[in-house]
Structure 1
Amino acid sequence: MRAGIGRRSLQYLFAYLFVLVALYPIVLMVSSSVKTNAEIFTSPLALPKTFSLDTYRKLWEVVPFADFLMNSVVVSVTSVLLITVTSAMAAFYLARFSYRWTGLLYFFFLLGLMIPIKLGIVPLFLLMKKLGLLNSLWSLILIYTASGIPISVFILTGFFRTLPVELEEAARIDGCNHFQVFWRVLLPLIRPALGTVVIINFIHAWNDFFFPLIFIQDEALKTIPVGMMVLFGEYETDWSLLFAGLTLSALPMIAVFLMASRQFMEGLTAGAVK
């Protein structure tokens, strides 16, 4: 029994150490956001000597951070909604309907996991130019949706296949059609997978720097990762403003994870216990 208690204490010790290591960069980022540049360079690991929110107020005055924030929210939320809806319907079809082309169609989605979308940046740029979507948020939304559907279909198809077919049969006996079976019966049962899909794709769209840099030129349409680049000067950088922007940009991701964390954890552990 003592051996079991000692093993459990050791596990908790490692868990607490891991939490401290994981949270320390966040604490350092937040504390640096309320420091001056001189404090950041002289005592980067120490807590701030004085607490002031002047840096955050200055951030909104120096750069159009409100525009950057709104653009990131619009792109990320719209992309996640499109990915979730289309992927859920495609996964339901692949998991529950068996035709000659079903396996080929599933392999087509899996190709999206094997081929990096950045390899097609030149054709994508020409496509967006012909569609008139350059320097538009819709170019980012469509690209994030296309790049997020393969992994989402892969995750959701696996979850749909674990659900018993008897549930659908009982629903059809009660008069439900295919869409009602999908919407009312099966979709509520795959909330863990939906939470996983939402978190993965939201973080990808929110943090992406590459595609906004290529497709967006207008300052008012830039997202946070690209917009914050204006804080990097040629000869000097206001690091306190930069850390303040990073802190504010991290808040939506933390909020999304907290809202969907339960479903996300259930999605990760699904199948571990039969």
Structure 2
Amino acid sequence: MAHRLQQLTKYVLLLLFSFISLYPIFLMFLSSFKTSQEITRSPLGMPHSISLDNFIEVWHKVQFSDYLLNSVLVSVFSLLIILLVSSMAAFYLSRYNFRWNGALLFFFMLGLMLPMKLAISPLYMQLLKLGLLDSLAGLVVVYVAGHISFAVFLFYGFFGTLPRDLDQSARIDGCNDFQVYYRIILPLMRPAIATVAITDLIKVWNDFFYPLVLIKSTGKGTIMYGMLRLFGEYDTEWNLLFSGLTLASLPMIIAFLFASRQFIEGLTAGAVK
């Protein structure tokens, strides 16, 4: 009886936290079908009718396709560079012992302790000197520099759980150091890769601060930067704003579901082996 009560309590708490987490998303989805008057009169109510007019209007009004393409390019290139550089750096730091091993690892960890937003002024001037200001490449550089520390920290801890006998066996079979990395170690890294991919992709996709400061041309903005155009000086088109946010969240939901499936498959494969 006590065990059943404990299980029931767990399920109730899980349902409660799930409701708290998902209700704002559900409310945003409902509001995307409402008119501005409906949102003002009944912000928590159901829409009177289901129509795609808001989505069509926001797609054309704020040039949503251009912002979507910019966000995809920035997010994909940032994520690929982060995964490649951080995994190779963590592999080298965890598998080889040299004089400056600890100091180099501490250098990466400084990125977790010092927020880059505090250094936005020198960062702005540096990008200006490099000719990367007001460009998607500049955003990629900033995101890679800002998120690579977390990825190295996570990959470094993951490599520590893998036995070094795998490396020695691969070298006996004729693999060089890079082949050990991408043929032996990389396939076992799917759980860590999925974790880094989910975390960094959401942060880069949802970021508003850096595009606002570093991007001046309207056509080079990201989705969150584009949503700023819906805020007027005297009025805000809330129906279009919720529609735009709904469209912006769909790629992240799809990517999260895909990465979560890969994460579970990676854990299962590792357990079977």
Task: Compute the TM-score of the two structures, normalised by the length of structure 1.
Answer: 0.94
RMSD: 1.5
Task: Report deviation, 1:152.
Answer: 0.5
Alpha-carbon distance between aligned partners in 2 of 1:144 and 1:265, rounded to the nearest angstrom: 27
What's 1:62 paired with?
Answer: 61
Task: Check the 8 A contact 1:196/1:263 in 2, yes or no.
Answer: no
Range moving further from structure 2, 6-15 or 237-246: 6-15
Residue type at the aligned position of 1:213: L
What SS does the aligned partner of 1:217 have?
coil
> What is the Cα deviation at residue 28 of structure 1?
0.4
Change (3 A) 1:262 1:61: closer
CA contact (8 A) 1:232 1:238 kept: yes
| Residue type at the aligned position of 2:157 | G
1:130-161 CA-partner distances (Å, limit 9, x unpaired): 11111100110000001111110000001011
For the pair 1:82 / 2:81, whether they are aligned, the reply is yes
8 Å contact kept, 1:213–1:226:
yes
Closer/same/farther in 2, CA of residues 235 and 267 from structure 1, 3 Å limit: farther
Give the SS at the match of 1:84: helix
Match in the other structure for 1:242:
241
Q: Give, in angstroms, the shift of residue 222 of structure 1.
A: 0.5
Q: Is the 8 A contact 1:193 1:263 kept in 2?
A: no
SS at 1:162's partner residue? coil
Letter of the 1:9 partner, please give it: L
* Equivalent AA in structure 1 for residue 33 of structure 2: V
- The CA deviation at 1:265 is 6.7
CA-to-aligned-CA distance 1:162-208 (integer Å, 9 cap, x gap): 10011111111111110111001111112111111111111111111
1:264 Cα offset (Å): 4.9
Q: Number of paired residues?
A: 267
Cα distance in 1, alignment partners of residues 114 and 248 from structure 2: 29
- Whether the 8 Å contact between 1:194 and 1:263 is mirrored in structure 2 is no
- Change in CA separation of 1:118 and 1:22 when aligned onto 2, cut-off 3 Å: same
For residues 202 and 265 of structure 2, what CA distance do their matches in structure 1 show? 19
Report the alpha carbon displacement of residue 221 of structure 1 after superposing the two structures with TM: 0.5
Alpha carbons of 1:267 and 1:174: their partners in 2 closer, same or farther (altered >3 Å)? closer
Equivalent position of 2:91 in the other structure: 92
Tell me the SS of whatever aligns to 1:110. helix
Distance in 1, matches of 2:30 and 2:70, equals 27
Q: Cα offset for 1:62?
A: 1.2
Describe the SS at the equivalent of 1:258.
helix
Give the C-alpha shift of residue 19 in structure 1.
Answer: 1.4
| Residue of structure 1 in register with 2:172 after alignment | 173
Residue aligning to 2:204: 205
Give ranges in structure 1 of 5+ residues lacking alignment: 269-274
The 5-angstrom pairing of residues 152-171 of structure 1 reads: 152-171=151-170
Q: Specify every segment of 5 or more residues in structure 2 that has no aligned partner in the other structure, as ranges.
A: 268-273
Question: Is residue 222 of structure 2 the alignment partner of residue 226 of structure 1?
Answer: no
Question: Which residue of the partner structure matches residue 122 of structure 2?
Answer: 123
The TM-score, its normalising length taken from structure 2, stands at 0.95
Distance, in Å, in 2 between the alignment partners of 1:197 and 1:56 is 31
**2:33 equivalent in structure 1:** 34
1:238 corresponds to which letter in structure 2?
E
Residue 188 of structure 2 contacts residue 266 of structure 2 at CA under 8 Å; is this kept in 1?
A: no
